[in-house]
Amino acid sequence: MNCQQFQEVLPYIIETGGKPEEEQHLETCASCAALVDELRYIAEQAKLLLPMYDPSPRVWNNIEQSLHREGLLLPEGRMSRLGHITKTPIQTKNWTPLGWAFALTAVIAFAAVLTNYRPRQLPQDQSLAQNIAADPATTMNGDDQQLISQLAQADPDARGVYENSLREVNSYISDAQQAAKQDPDDPAAREFLLEAYQQKEMLYQMATARSLP
């Protein structure tokens, strides 16, 4: 799992907890772990906002009495001028416009962090090391590993060369996928993706031809 895939499922992780592979990514990726900590903090603070700014029933009573005095509220709870707003039981709950405003602000802040978050720019070496360690874009999936395994049986010397080439092309595919996602209407981004898959197809064909008896 790479950072992008992790961030796509992040809202569910915050809500319901992560799966083992997501937890594994968190253990290896400092920037995603920091993001999760920040989001959890925001979520906790958002919960605290509502009761903190919820006025007491006395405030409600005072407002109600004032409205009665000014003739805006009828005894049965109807607004005299507007006539269509009724004081229903739901309005007696401890939710105020201020509280709603704070809750809404917290949700917007949460969403803004999620959409605008970019992993911190690590120094190049550190970034590279982290990518190699944790990013499947530069590692190999099950099919790749199977291919390499078969190839190594036929010719052990070829293993390293093919591993490097597959890592390179996986990185290409990952970049092209991101580009196509960011600019779905850009034909060049789609061409990159097609080209990247053609490169991988070529490697598979060469390796398969090699590993045949």
Partner 1 sequence: MNLFPTIVTAEARPRRRGRSRLLIAAAGATVALCAVAAQAAENRKEAKLEIAPGGNVTIVNNSGSVALRSAFGRQVLVAYTTHSDKIEVDQNSTADKQRIELRSHTLAGQKPTADEAKVDFEITVPPGVSVNVTTVSAPVTAEGLSGDLSLSSESGQISVHNVAKSHLHIRSMNAPVSLTGVTGTHVDIQSSGGAVHMSNVTGPRVAVGTTNGNIDYRGDCSGGGDYVLTTHSGEIDMWLPPSASVDLSARSRTGSVENEFPLEAKIHPTFPPAQGRSFAGTSNSGSSSVELQSFSGKIRVKKQ
Of 23-62, binders to partner 1 (CB under 8 A) are none
What is the contact mask toward partner 1 in residues 100 to 139, using x (rule: CB under 8 A)?
A: ----------------------------------------
Q: Which structure tokens are listed for 47?
A: 């919960």
Q: Residue 177 interacts with partner 1 (CB under 8 A)?
A: no
Residue 119, judged by CB atoms within 10 A of its CB (0-12, 13-18, 19+), counts as middle
Q: Which residue has the tokens 């190839």?
A: 151
What φ, ψ does residue 195 adopt, rounded to 5°? -60, -40
Q: Out of 4, 109, 199, 204, which residue is the one contacting partner 1 (CB under 8 A)?
A: 199
Q: Out of 3, 35, 169, 180, which residue is the one contacting partner 1 (CB under 8 A)?
A: 169
- Report in angstroms how near the CB of residue 14 gets to partner 1 at its nearest: 31
Q: Using the minimum distance from each CB to partner 1, give the nearer residue, 70 or 157.
A: 157
Give the 3-state secondary structure of residue 35: helix
How far the first Cα of the chain sits from its last, in Å, is 35
**26 neighbors 142 (Cβ within 8 angstroms):** no
User: Which stretches of the chain bind partner 1, using CB under 8 A?
Assistant: 158, 161-162, 164-165, 168-169, 171-172, 175-176, 179, 186, 188-189, 191-192, 195-196, 198-199, 202-203, 205-206, 209-210
